[in-house]
Structure 1
């Protein structure tokens, strides 16, 4: 899908209203009932006035108003939903998964923190929707018997949308935050997640080197900026490459404001250069051979000043050290793929806020699956 297009943020005399932003608005202002359509949206239901209204309102209608059947008019029959712990390949499974989660966490409410987007009605739209979900574990389900404990956790959902229907979606849920807050054992839960894959023969595959470095050459000095839509997005990709792939962690002091706030996994709220540096170093302490690969970037000017950027990325490597993911335990050498998303608020040339979502539970699940394969292989060898 081509993702270049107007972000609808500029507003001149006689122009339609600007596309909504969620940061400074109450929910009722984000889903207006008497607002003119703010941008061309061919094929979208008349209720939606712009793409932010669409993603915020339809999420609320499905999850909070319980109109699960809207999935049939808001997802294609062959939609693909990529999650950190598994992938869904059709609309009916999206319906089933939604119903299961609504039953298990009936009090959960997902509040839009912000939506970063690009696109247009001809090429389709891309949205990156950061949600802060709060609720209580009051019913049985995939988390086991209800504990009655409450939780707060962040989710980022990236969606590709064309004429009212989502046809591709990426979900990164901070499920480790949920699991810990409601009092479950992360190790046992990760085994439960891994076992169905193992029993189906969907085994972990170690692909060897990830090509961050070719042979004995150092990492590439220049990064690929072909996914950027603007010069500013290209610049973000350059300093991310410098920090993550060239391991120039000192660059953080250059591109982040001294007062930066870091909103991280496990609902971490940290401040300053030192905190951001420690979290970044901790990622590569866990996965020293990790290769940072941005997969998508988009941006929108922000009413609070500056611009907000959304980056969907993965890191591929092996669990070779101790780092910020304490539940992974001692290094196992197992291959890991981190599926993650980050939102950056850049003002006056500096990052003033970063929101990063990584599902640590998916990393633990990958290790458990690989260990199950090892154990099974050992048993087979003993039987021969």
Structure 2
């Protein structure tokens, strides 16, 4: 670990060329964290071993989580970093250290394998990364889920980070906890009640949700998407597509936007193919929260060496549980969900979508609201 009291040795900074930055999909770990690769991107303030921003996020994650060098958090996060999740928010580095140790002890043989990193930025203004991993392991230790079952699991996680001079100062995390519970044989509704009761006892409140911004009074939704956060024409197009589907509820657009042989990789580790599957899964989420407002909070993209572009979107949905679905019968309670989607766009159509949101966090919110209502 780098001694914070010492200045790192100077590194000759190359001119930035996004095409030289590593891409994850086709490479083994040894290629993603090389020992003899020259620096290919200007990385002012970063430790000398990092050759570009993808190397940085993959390598430091591997060192902290797989090599167990948890203390690297002190040199890779600011003291006042904020980490947002669907079930928690952490406001300091020491809490992150403590929670990382706990999770490593709970699932000691879990390995998080990078499957995609989409990024933008530079070493002056800061970098933004959207990092998708597949976690593979077995339930071998006593932990918050009870006694070991020995069952294997595979889950998907996406983490978005804001980084400047070797330190992450803001982070968003979504893990598919519902997929983990089901694979371990744990009944989600009962476990959600346990979580909800504990959160209320700690004084945590049910999320507050204002009136939906999707509609203005009795007027229909805005016909045009807000593309002000886009950086490229392809990102603008993606925002328009998402606006048509989620805000205008024009689900039939999926038949134009997605390729006939598209692949969809979603929560609960669902692996589906074809436009009909995408249409059903998209409507399935909206049907549970039929008055939801869908808001894109961040978008970035990279040209893909596989062809086309990879586009990462961080989004939120807020509304009321008015519809049937995996959360049970409608309760009318408020619910909010943060999610991430990675899209692969080729020749003007989406050929792959990876979407992560956590149905368990939604279930906990509903249980909290029910308990609070009963207590009142």
Within a 5 Å distance, the mapping from 1:321-332 to structure 2 comes to 321-323=323-325, 326=326, 328-332=327-331
What is the alpha-carbon root mean square deviation over aligned residues? 1.2
CA displacement 1:178-217 (0-9 Å, x = unmatched): 1110111111221222223211222214535212111110
CA displacement 1:94-134 (0-9 Å, x = unmatched): 00000001001000000000100000000000000000010
For 1:52 and 1:196, how far apart are their aligned partners in 2? 38
Within a 5 Å distance, the mapping from 1:265-280 to structure 2 comes to 265-280=267-282
Change (3 A) 1:376 1:8: farther
For 2:16 and 2:227, how far apart are their aligned partners in 1? 20
User: Shift of residue 83 of structure 1?
Assistant: 0.5
Which 10-residue stretch deviates more, 291-300 or 181-190? 181-190
For 1:78 and 1:124, how far apart are their aligned partners in 2? 17
Residue of structure 1 equivalent to 2:135: 133
For 2:106 and 2:301, how far apart are their aligned partners in 1? 35
Within a 5 Å distance, the mapping from 1:1-384 to structure 2 comes to 8-10=17-19, 18-323=20-325, 326=326, 328-377=327-376
User: Shift of residue 376 of structure 1?
Assistant: 1.1
Aligned pairs, how many?
362
For 1:232 and 1:7, how far apart are their aligned partners in 2? 21
Structure 2, unmatched stretches of 5+, are 1-14
For 1:75 and 1:229, how far apart are their aligned partners in 2? 27
Name the SS for the 1:130 alignment partner. Answer: strand
CA displacement 1:192-248 (0-9 Å, x = unmatched): 222232112222145352121111100001121111111110110011001100000
1:153/1:177 contact within 8 Å kept: yes
Change (3 A) 1:207 1:128: closer
For 2:210 and 2:120, how far apart are their aligned partners in 1? 36
For 1:304 and 1:356, how far apart are their aligned partners in 2? 20
- TM (normalized to structure 1)? 0.93
User: Shift of residue 7 of structure 1?
Assistant: 8.1
Structure 1, unmatched stretches of 5+, are 1-5, 11-17, 378-384
For 1:162 and 1:63, how far apart are their aligned partners in 2? 21
- TM (normalized to structure 2)? 0.94
For 2:49 and 2:175, how far apart are their aligned partners in 1? 28
For 1:30 and 1:257, how far apart are their aligned partners in 2? 30
Change (3 A) 1:7 1:155: farther
For 1:171 and 1:193, how far apart are their aligned partners in 2? 18
Which 10-residue stretch deviates more, 306-315 or 227-236? 227-236
